[in-house]
Structure 1
Amino acid sequence: MPTTSHDDALAPYDAVLLLSFGGPEAPDEVMPFLRRVTAGRDVPEDRLQEVATHYHHFGGRSPINDQNRELRAALEAEVARRGSTVPVLWGNRNSDPYVTDTLRAARAEGMLRICVVVTSAYSSYSGCRQYREDLAAATEGLGGAGVDLEIDKVRPYALHPGFVAVNTERLVEAVADVPAADLAAARLLFVTHSVPEAMDDTSGPGDGDGNLYVEQHLRVGHLIAQGLAARTGTTLEHELVFCSRSGSPRTPWLEPDVNDRIEELAAEGVSTVVVAPIGFVSDHMEVVNDLDREAQETADRVGVRMVRVPTAGTHPVFVETLVDLLQERAAEARDEVVVPARADQGDLRPSVCDPGCCPNLRAAKPALCGRD
């Protein structure tokens, strides 16, 4: 039976769970994976076949699982460096290792109190509540063995100063070799995953005005652009664009698409675009396909130079940020007074979600780590 020392910074937790989206690791896994992801969403079969080609461009293997293996190892090293003995586990929503299997193995080893960090930084149904629903479904899937599990999660962390800092650092490094004259005339495109407009409209607390998903991205982008100016003296005109639209073509999704915007900027005479995928924490399929392949092809076709900024990945500052968040949540669990780190004075999301926060618009489902 594992026990965590009272002076361990991650006490009272027995384990940390890195919870991610998952992805196929072989060609024959691609379509089953896509069907799991889109179940109940009225996505046409021909659209799934189209998306499958994205994976087949990369041998039918998504990069996300390898990146999560690297992130888990980096988290384990940072946790140990800080003197904690709490193990770091890994589970996925949509592929092996499934979160239910991870929790079952943890329960069998006597790990009963677990803190979760998800590989999604922003507030929305798909970025937060759906992970909470998956945790509820996983514990239900364990039957009676899941009753004694206590699961908490860290808060959405897009506006943690560490997340902003590492994305600023990535941007500064990416433009270091761009000639000053070209950079001064460049346009900075912050990119994130498009979601249905209705999902953005209802993102945030149930008693709020919604649109927190877009608002958080705009604030993060503004802070990063400020950081670039402070570090380099270069002020870039910037905006938020989207990629990876999926789902029913009858459903309105957030726009503009990054490819459409690159074409428009080329028509306006812009010759350099800097593409910063701040909506993603690692270079997974939405980045390597939708940006490195498709957006790059668009830029080449219209004669625009595209500079792609790396994601946070396993940058030491990002890893330290996630462990800071875990320690913050552990302190809350110990009923200590906690002043959460924040990058600005805007809305700060709690670790325990309020009732109605980022609702499931298709069907009401149980969700852990919330008050409803």
Structure 2
Amino acid sequence: MSDAHAPYDALLLLSFGGPEGPEDVVPFLENVTRGRGIPKERLAEVGQHYFLFGGVSPINAQNRELLAALRADFADHGLDLPVHWGNRNWAPYLVDTLREMAADGHRRVLVLATSAYANYSGCRQYRENLAAALTALREEGAPGAAELRVDKLRLFYNHPGFVEPMIESTLAALESLPETVRAGARLAFTTHSIPDVLADTSGAPADPARSTPGGAYVAQHREVARLIATAVAEATGVVDRPWELVYQSRSGAPHIPWLEPDICDHLEAEQAAGAAAVVMVPIGFVSDHMEVKYDLDTQAREKADELGLPVARAATVGADPRFAAAVRDLVLERAARERGERVGPCTLGALGASHDVCPVGCCPAARGAAPAAAGEDWIN
């Protein structure tokens, strides 16, 4: 299988990044909010939830675990494909990683972004980051940068290697509840809230005639939630267990509509409706990083305690071997198609596989546009 990855010669794990000490918090948030004119005093306020955890976000450690899992899986299956790691907002920075990869002789690079769903922040913005990094390297004359090409792996939200670990962790969370409330527990599938306008245009290209209209972000999450809820019903015998898709981690101005309901508001509604318990299932996140640890394990749990509502939280997929195997499967699938071979994509549910190459203007930003690599509107 040593050449099964051809024409690709490396995989890049591309993630958000996070601070690794108290002194990193404000500079990290400055990177995240660059161009918005937010004063340092406000950033220090916003960073308080990082300080509760010693100024360290779990995300970098979790990416190191995933990096190790991918390398181990590839080696175990004879896939001689180097795996590198770069971040959008903290070290190792994307541009530095790409510079090293180009200098090492890599020319065709596949990219795994640690976001499973169609939307601007989780897909197109990463492609814009790639385009900006490639442009910067070419302008500085970095060795090999002119020949470096990147392609992004398709969205993996409905791959069995992502869904099946979430089914298992949801069942484990249910099992952790007291037996007296287990059968009456409801499921709250959580993901990052985004502005309504970005949700409405997610998955939509600039020319609507070329594809179905937007709304992919919510539709894809609801499909994953349905798959998990159906499997949980089959495993537990509770066929009418209520579930909802809810949101967390809103960060926008109050006057701008964002997806709702918020998880804490949902817990209040569930308690008022007589729910015996709630299992929070963070299907919108690949690992147990800060938005899971703080927004669910801290804020939502405090709200549940205040309400006297038993809650449990399912684990994310993290570095689960099944997820590492799914990435290998996506690599081989994309490589085969690049070679002109017909290959059936591995998916669960009714939505099928997402596109390999994003159409022009896919998942547009609310304001303006920037060049985005790994799509039809980018010239390598």
Mapped to 1, the partners of 2:96 and 2:216 lie a distance apart of 32
Shift of 1:247: 2.5
Shift of the 184–86 alpha-carbon distance from structure 1 to 2, 3 Å rule, reads: same
What is the RMSD of the two structures over their aligned residues, measured on CA atoms? 1.6
Moved more, 95-104 or 257-266: 257-266
8 A Cα contact 2:169 2:316, kept in partner: yes
**Which of 288, 291, 316 is the equivalent residue of 1:286?**
291
Identity of aligned residues (%): 52
Aligned to 2:323: 318
Shift of 1:85: 1.6
The AA in structure 2 aligned to 1:292 is D
Shift of the 196–47 alpha-carbon distance from structure 1 to 2, 3 Å rule, reads: farther
Mapped to 2, the partners of 1:228 and 1:43 lie a distance apart of 44
Mapped to 1, the partners of 2:35 and 2:255 lie a distance apart of 15
Mapped to 2, the partners of 1:48 and 1:249 lie a distance apart of 18
Deviations 1:273-322 (A, max 9, x none): 10000000100000000000110000000100111000001111111111
Aligned to 1:3: none
Aligned to 2:137: 142
Shift of the 157–42 alpha-carbon distance from structure 1 to 2, 3 Å rule, reads: farther
Shift of the 172–133 alpha-carbon distance from structure 1 to 2, 3 Å rule, reads: same
Equivalenced residue count is 367
Structure 1 alignment gaps of length 5 or more:
1-5
The AA in structure 2 aligned to 1:200 is A
Shift of 1:347: 4.9
8 A Cα contact 2:120 2:365, kept in partner: yes
Aligned to 1:154: 153
Matches within 5 A, 1:340-359: 340-359=345-364
Mapped to 2, the partners of 1:44 and 1:169 lie a distance apart of 43
The AA in structure 2 aligned to 1:230 is E
**Which of 94, 102, 108 is the equivalent residue of 1:99?**
94
**Which of 296, 301, 310 is the equivalent residue of 2:306?**
301
Tell me if 1:116 matches 2:111.
Answer: yes
The AA in structure 1 aligned to 2:201 is T
8 A Cα contact 2:359 2:375, kept in partner: yes
Aligned to 2:280: 275
The AA in structure 1 aligned to 2:75 is A
Mapped to 1, the partners of 2:41 and 2:224 lie a distance apart of 36
Mapped to 1, the partners of 2:29 and 2:337 lie a distance apart of 37
Report SS of the residue matched to 2:317. Answer: coil
The AA in structure 2 aligned to 1:278 is I
Aligned to 1:67: 62
Aligned to 1:186: 185
Shift of 1:39: 2.2
**Which of 5, 17, 24 is the equivalent residue of 1:10?**
5
Deviations 1:97-143 (A, max 9, x none): 00100010111111111111111000000010000000001111102
Matches within 5 A, 1:210-221: 210-221=214-225
Shift of 1:199: 0.6
Mapped to 1, the partners of 2:173 and 2:10 lie a distance apart of 36
8 A Cα contact 1:205 1:355, kept in partner: no
Tell me if 1:89 matches 2:108.
Answer: no
The AA in structure 2 aligned to 1:154 is L
Shift of 1:344: 1.7
Structure 2 alignment gaps of length 5 or more:
none
Shift of 1:169: 1.2
Shift of 1:205: 2.6
Mapped to 1, the partners of 2:137 and 2:267 lie a distance apart of 48
8 A Cα contact 2:2 2:80, kept in partner: no
Mapped to 1, the partners of 2:364 and 2:352 lie a distance apart of 18
8 A Cα contact 2:176 2:312, kept in partner: no
Shift of 1:249: 2.6
Shift of 1:330: 1.3
TM-score in terms of structure 1 length? 0.95
Report SS of the residue matched to 2:233. Answer: helix
8 A Cα contact 2:2 2:78, kept in partner: no
TM-score in terms of structure 2 length? 0.93
The AA in structure 1 aligned to 2:128 is E
